[in-house]
Amino acid sequence: MKIEKSVRPDSQSQIWINNVIVRHLIFSDLPQLEWDGEYSHLRQVYLNAYKKRNEGKYILWVADLPKSGIIGQVFIQLNSTRKDLADGYFCAYLFAFRIKADFRNAGLGTRMLSVVETDLVKRNYGEITLNVAKTNDIAIRFYNRLGFEIIGSESGEWSFRDQNNKLQHVKEPALKMIKTINNSH
Ligand SMILES: CC(C)(COP(=O)(O)OP(=O)(O)OC[C@H]1O[C@@H](n2cnc3c(N)ncnc32)[C@H](O)[C@@H]1OP(=O)(O)O)[C@@H](O)C(=O)NCCC(=O)NCCS
């Protein structure tokens, strides 16, 4: 499948944002999550996330701009062996959140987070957790503005198989942040 490069239609105006549809990821979206090769190494991670989504363990959101394609994504893990991050009923873990560079700073990330929160409240979840790299000042400011608080540090170590099935290790010291989304618990 040939994937067209996503180009922000008109960087001077923000009319494009009104045309963005935030929806659940479908199987045919997966190649677009590779962003013209930048994230090809995460192919198996995304495929695995899609399988978990079919098992009801993950919720996968994308931002779809007609004619441009997928310009953003955010994944939610409902249950994990790390119960402090996702326990299947109260706290859910947010990860793989990214908006394509040309489409940032226009409110799309804020909108996607709002969609995530509304959905999790409907499912009766009370808290969102996430890890963000200590060096990622922009994202930390973004999450702070939207009500997340830093509650600790994480080593940020994890491993995955890349598109060539080679095991890759990541070590990215991170901050753990949480946001209460439903006080009725
Ligand atoms: C973090 C990220 C998802 C935010 O997405 P975004 O679409 O840029 O988010 P928003 O546009 O809603 O907010 C970004 C800034 O734009 C500003 N903004 C929002 N709407 C705006 C508008 N209409 N006009 C101008 N600026 C606007 C916001 O005030 C915000 O500033 P702040 O967060 O410093 O307070 C994005 O920067 C990203 O993909 N980063 C790379 C990947 C990453 O780091 N992900 C997080 C991993 S944990």
3 is a domain residue: no
What pairs with residue 167 in β-bridges?
A: 161
Tens of pLDDT, residues 20-44: 999 999 999 999 999 999 999 999 9
148 is a domain residue: yes
26 is a domain residue: yes
Long-range contacts of 167-170 (CB under 8 A, 24+ apart): 168/41
Does ligand 1 come within 6 angstroms of the Cβ of 110?
yes
Atom 29 in ligand 1: residue holding the nearest Cα: 105
CATH number at residue 172: 3.40.630.30
8 is a domain residue: no
Confidence at 184, pLDDT banded by 50, 70, 90: confident
| pLDDT for 168 | 95
Angle formed at CA 155 by CA 40 and CA 163, multiple of 5 degrees = 15
Atom 10 in ligand 1: residue holding the nearest Cα: 107
Does ligand 1 come within 6 angstroms of the Cβ of 139?
yes
Inter-residue contact 92 to 128 (CB < 8 Å): yes
Confidence at 1, pLDDT banded by 50, 70, 90: very low
* Residue to mutate, 38, 99, 140, ligand 1, most ligand atoms under 8 Å from C-beta: 99
Structure-model confidence comparison of residues 84 and 6, the more confident one? 84
114 is a domain residue: yes
Q: What's the pTM?
A: 0.93
33 is a domain residue: yes
Containing structural domain, residue 154: 16-180
49 is a domain residue: yes
How many folded domains does the chain comprise? 1
47 is a domain residue: yes
Confidence at 4, pLDDT banded by 50, 70, 90: low
